[in-house]
Structures are given as structure tokens and as C-alpha cells.
A and B are shown apart, each in its own frame.
Chain A
């Protein structure tokens, strides 16, 4: 059974904290993505990576960074969490031409 696993389902963090969201996939996919999902706004791309150590900014990269040191793992980092980063974060992976896509279960982050 193919899997994208996100490390934390629910997190509550304080303003200014550094937050790490981890994502691991077991399908040997080249592409990995981080999205945030907010009511009425749909899925918005934060960063994506098409290979180890490669990363590309998406539509809303401000306040976020990413790391991909191994093919199976893609981490999202909030350097200094703010309340406007309260959201659901979804990790996804796909092969190069996007013929399949798999999502993690999502991480609900609340910043207080």
C-alpha cells in the first residue's frame, strides 16, 4: 500500500517558534510538494522539489523554507511561526509527469 506519511497530525505552536513538518513517501517519487489549504482558497503551493537537494518556490513561499536531503523525505520549516500560518498543511508526491499524485493525511497547525 503506497504511502505519504506526515509526521504530525495536529500541532499547536506559539508565535515565533520554529516549526518542522516532516513528510516521507515510500514510492520512490521524484516530485514532492507542500501545500496549505484554507477555506475558500483551495490548495496553494508553498514549495516543491523535483529531485534531492532541489527546490522551487511555489505561490506562497514567504515565511517558509524546505529541505530535501533524501529522496523520500521533504521537510517544511516555518522559521518563526505567525498566527496567519494557522492552516492545514498537505504534503504530496508524484512521478515526473504527474500521472499519479498521493497526498498525506495533512497536518493541522494552530499558531497562538
Chain B
């Protein structure tokens, strides 16, 4: 079964750091376009970051300079390092796969596979 499983969420103080992991089963993260998307409590979806199969990386302005996306192909795991955390970073963080890696050789900017999410709470 193809699936994504996030881990590493928790409670952290403002200014603190946390690393989220997204372990993939049934797919190779190095051959896919892997994103992180977050959802604050009771709010909508917000795209956070993406790492392309070729290694290109993009970030949303709201997290640029504070968050770092990376991957370990040997473990088929994508990471999101969260630093200088603020209260407004409190959210469920989803790992998501762009279906472009499956259908075409380019991203389709549509996410067909999602993890169950990891909750990050930034509070003192």
C-alpha cells in the first residue's frame, strides 16, 4: 500500500525548534515532488514547502529562512526542520505527494497522496 506517515509533532515554546518526518511506503521520495502543507486549527490549507525529485526546493514566504526541507532517499523519508517557531506556526502539518511524479515528468501542482498529519503546537 502506498502511504505517507508523519511523525515528530509536539508542543514547543516560541523560538524553539522541531523536526517533522514523513516516511513513505510504496514510493520513492527521490522520484517524486514532495510537499508540506499545514492547516492551523479551524483554518484553511496553506502550502509550506516542496522538494523536487531533482532537488529544487521552494518555500512559502511565511516560513522562508526558518524552515528547511530535506530528504533521505535511503530511508524514503522527507523532513521539515522548523526553527524560530512562532505561535502562528501552530498547525497540523501534512506531507503530500504531487501526482506529477506519477503521471508526468513534471509537477502537476495537485496533491494526490497525503499523510495523516502531525500536530505542532507553539506555546509557552
A binds B: no
